[in-house]
Structure 1
Amino acid sequence: MALFDHKKPDAWSCRPTDKFALQCQPSPQAIKPTLSAAPASAPMHPVIDGTYISEATRQLTLLSEAVGQDEVTRDKLLHALQFSGGEWSQGAIPQELDRSAWVSDVSNDHSPFEYSLALSQQTGACELRFLIEAQPEDKSLAALQESTTRLTDDIAAYYGPTKVSLDRLNLIRDLFLPSDAEGMLALWHSFATSKTLEKWKLYLNPLASGRENAFAVTREALQRLGLGRSWELLETILTGDDFPIYFALGLSPNPEDAEVKVYVAHVGASATQIAHKHVQMDPNASVHAIEQFYSVMAGGSLGPYRGKPGLSCFHFKNADPSRPAARTILYPMDTYAANDAEAQQRIETYMDVIQAPPLYRETYRKAISAVQRRPLEAGRGIHSWVSMKEKRDGKRSNTYYLSAELYGCLVDDGPADGDR
């Protein structure tokens, strides 16, 4: 999950002149990580000689095996990947991305797919997902709308009404897919599997009609979906440079259970400011837990994060729209870690802090080894985002968003400084 349209003034980007400085003075409450030894890396596969779908299948198969999925679950995952790949995925992966042309914003290196791994802090149980964008032949936003909409309809037709419903999408389609859309995101598709679930989700662009209309679009979408009370709650925490950046819609045919997620970007905010917004949304939220997460992931800094900002995601359901069903905070690791080895060390430290079960640590390590094709010290970008989710019952999980790195790692002048 990257950031769309980096070249427009209403988006942000990592400033190439910013230098990362762990020696910056953190707030007194910040946690300096005690770095543990990184696990041994798996054999490297630096050269990609194949198609988009063959490489995605290879990486996702290794990830599925690494996290211990059974064969039935893995088959569902791979079938969904191949189904959503379509004809474009049969094309050969170029040795170098043409950045002068239209590129995908699904992943931080513009790969058209990304993987994510959700791990329970209590048990280490795993949910594996992929995010994909149906690539058009004509590299334009209008063509992208057409190709992604076609895939949506194909998914609904193939999986049938007992698994997928487009009823709610049809209520809000015009808001997110206007004829004069802006940006680089039309519609992304996500598929998740575990031993207990199989679900499709769509990611839409609240800024499709311009950043100045993002609030109105989000409000109208929630109201049409019967979640007007959710908007009223969400509106109370939107301050300063906050704005909705993603709108996710679950395709479950059960309208009471189908989830809507609103992602909010907190530009220039600190961990403490973000934490207090979550307390406003849910009095049971823990300022300490949120600050702890951000501090460890940021190498001891509570911010403010002035490069790529931290995000919040608020999950709403029609069963009770007056409060979030869950809340998530996201940290852009690819922007603030010098390389993936450092990112992994911070994550290992966080595991110690939360006393993660052995299965959690083992699954995470195996997943990184499965997806990487270079030494972690060689660059940054495998770790894209890291998140912490908390449900109403207090159970927490972490999700690691992993780049496929089809076009290489991020090797500009360095990550942004987390404090300045």
Structure 2
Amino acid sequence: MALLDQKPGALSCSQSHQFTHQYQHTTTAVKPTMLAAPAPVLINQVINDNYISEANRQLARLSKAIGQDEVTREKLLHAFNFSGGEWCQNAIPQKLDISAWVSDVSNDHSPFEYSLALSQQTGASELRFLIEAQPEENSLAALQERTSRLTDDIATEYGPTRVSLDRLNLVRDLFLPPNAEGKLASWHSFATSNTLEKWKIYLNPLASGSQNASKVTREALERLGLASSWELLDSIMTGDDYPIYFSLGLSPDPEDAEVKVYVAHRGASATQIAQKHVKMDPKSSVHAIEMFYSIMAGGSLGPYRGKPGLSCFHFKNKDPSRPAARTVLYPMDSYAADDVEARERIETYMDAISAPQLYRERYRNAISSVQRRPLGAGRGIHSWVSMKEKSDGKRSNTFYLSAELYGCLVDDGPWNGGR
């Protein structure tokens, strides 16, 4: 999951680069416990295949790496093959083609991304892909048409007992206006575990201009019967905060389907972000959020003046007066020198939370299953890392993993904050 309006910046991992930390450490990092890695995968930066074959290879390996059964894995692969459509049959170019549509789904502009959620208590897992249907023409209008067609196709394929567009139809005009702005029309995600499968759609609050993002978000929540949720959200946003993504669960049960609003905290520190969560929900832990950000940042509490940290607030109609869950997200790809350093920080965090062995094994196996290069050769496999806390206090972490179809990341100048 990239942030809106980033400029293309992915180059071959053979490119050497220096990444300088902007901030001095403000806390002491714990030495991580290094686990024995699974058998290494074949390192191959050149992909002589099409999108669908490479995605199937990586998704199948990911699914096996975390112990999903064959039935669950087939559901995952079917969902991807269906949503990939004809464009996924195209060969992957050796270099990102910037004359065509450049996707913002992933940090290297791959049109799909993977994520793995792990319970801090048990190591129970959920595997997801995020995909953007690719337009035939390089225009936002063509993208809107193509992604809207996929939305309708998903509803037809999965039927009304599993997918409903009723709530989306209440707000569709807000997020897919004529003469839209930005790099996002809609993204689609499918998540599986051994007990569930669910579709979600991600929409762009900035589509009518950044100055209208809050207005669009408020109107959407009010139409969905979540006016009190907007009041909560509005109470914590300051001048450097803005809604950046709006996600709808496509469950046919309106009481259970989530609405998620992602807020970017431009230039905020870990403490400032934590205090917003406490204001939103007094049960939030400032310590847990500060510890998460500090360890993921290599010891820094910020402020994070490059790519900003995000919060995601999960709302449900059965109790719109409080979030059903809250998530903080850290942009690891922008603040770690390479993926070895990213892994070390994550393993430090595992020690800090006393993560169960199953959690540790599934994380390491997942990284091994997607990589095509040594982790020290560059950065970008680790995109975002998040910490989610439900209303019952249970926590999980999600690791957003780049497919790296076009290579790893290099520094290409300051990030503009998505505005």
User: Considering the TM-score relative to the shorter chain, is it more than 0.5?
Assistant: yes
Contact 2:33 2:351 in 1 (8 A): no
Name the structure 1 match of 2:271.
Answer: 272
* Contact 2:25–2:298 (CA under 8 A) maintained in structure 1: no
- Which whole-Å CA distance do the structure 1 matches of 2:84 and 2:106 have between them? 16
Asked if 1:175 corresponds to 2:178, the answer is no
Q: Secondary structure at the match of 1:236?
A: helix
> How many Å apart are 1:4 and its aligned residue?
1.9
Q: Does 1:44 align with 2:76?
A: no
Correspondent of 2:30 among 8, 16, 33: 33
| Structure 2 letter corresponding to 1:70 | D
Residue 333 (structure 1) aligned with residue 332 (structure 2): yes
Contact (CA 8 Å) 1:379, 1:409: kept in 2 or not?
yes
CA distance in 1, matches of 2:299, 2:243: 27
Counterpart residue type for residue 243 of structure 2: P
Mean alpha-carbon deviation: is it higher for 406-415 or for 205-214?
406-415
Q: What amino acid maps onto 1:149 in structure 2?
A: S
Contact 2:382 2:401 survives alignment (8 Å): yes
The 1:362–1:385 alpha-carbon spacing in structure 2 relative to 1, beyond 3 Å, is same
1:234-282 per-residue CA deviation (whole Å, 9 max, x = no partner) reads 0000002100000000000000001000000000000000000000000
Q: State the 1:395 CA deviation.
A: 0.2
**Contact 1:334–1:415 (8 Å) recurs in 2:** no
Aligned to 1:14: none
- Find the aligned partners of 1:379 and 1:415 in 2 and give their Cα distance: 19
Structure 1 residue 36 displacement after superposition: 3.9
Amino acid at match of 1:404: A
Pair 1:198 & 2:200 matched: no
Residue 399 of structure 1: aligned partner: 398
One-letter code aligned to 2:3: L
Instruction: Name structure 1 gaps, 5 residues minimum.
Output: 9-16
Residue matched to 1:21: 21
Question: 1:6 is matched with which residue?
Answer: 6
User: RMSD between aligned alpha carbons?
Assistant: 1.7
Q: Gapped runs of 5+ residues in structure 2?
A: 9-16
Q: Classify 1:415/1:386 alpha carbon distance in 2 versus 1 (closer, same or farther; 3 Å).
A: farther
1:155-175 CA-partner distances (Å, limit 9, x unpaired): 001100000000000000000
Aligned ranges for residues 57-206 of structure 1 at < 5 Å?
57-206=56-205
| In 2: Cα distance, 1:126 partner to 1:368 partner | 14
Kindly report structure 1 stretches of 4+ aligned residues shifted beyond 2 Å.
17-22, 24-27, 35-43, 99-102, 411-416
Compute the displacement of 1:231 (Å). Answer: 0.1
Q: Distance in 2 between matches of 1:403 and 1:274?
A: 26
2:14 corresponding residue in structure 1: none
Partner deviation per Cα, 1:47-93 (whole Å, 9 max, x = no partner): 21110000000000000000000000000000000000000000000
> For the structure 1 residues 369 and 392, does the alpha-carbon distance in structure 2 shift closer, same or farther, using more than 3 Å as the test?
same
Deviations 1:203-255 (A, max 9, x none): 00000000000000000000000000000010000002100000000000000
C-alpha distance in 2 between matches for 1:18 and 1:264: 30
Contact 1:199 1:251 in 2 (8 A): yes
Task: Tell me the TM-score normalized by structure 2.
Answer: 0.94
One-letter amino acid of the structure 1 residue matched with residue 151 of structure 2: T
CA distance in 2, matches of 1:6, 1:45: 27
The alpha-carbon distance between structure 1 residues 139 and 252, as it changes in their structure 2 partners (threshold 3 A), is same
Match of 2:221? 222
Give the Å deviation of 1:26.
Answer: 3.1
Q: Is the 2:62–2:370 Cα contact (8 Å) retained in structure 1?
A: yes
- Is the CA contact (8 Å cut-off) linking 1:114 and 1:402 kept in structure 2? yes
> Match of 1:282, as an amino acid?
D
Aligned twin of 1:363:
362
The share of aligned pairs that are identical, in percent, is 77
CA contact (8 A) 1:275 1:291 kept: yes
d(CA) in 1 for partners of 2:69, 2:18: 45
Provide the C-alpha distance between the structure 1 equivalents of 2:205 and 2:413, rounded to a whole number of angstroms. Answer: 30
Name the count of aligned residue pairs.
405
**Aligned-partner residue type, residue 357 of structure 1:** P
| Matched position secondary structure for 1:258 | coil
- Cα distance in 2, alignment partners of residues 295 and 167 from structure 1: 41
* 1:31 Cα offset (Å): 3.9
TM-score by length of 1: 0.94
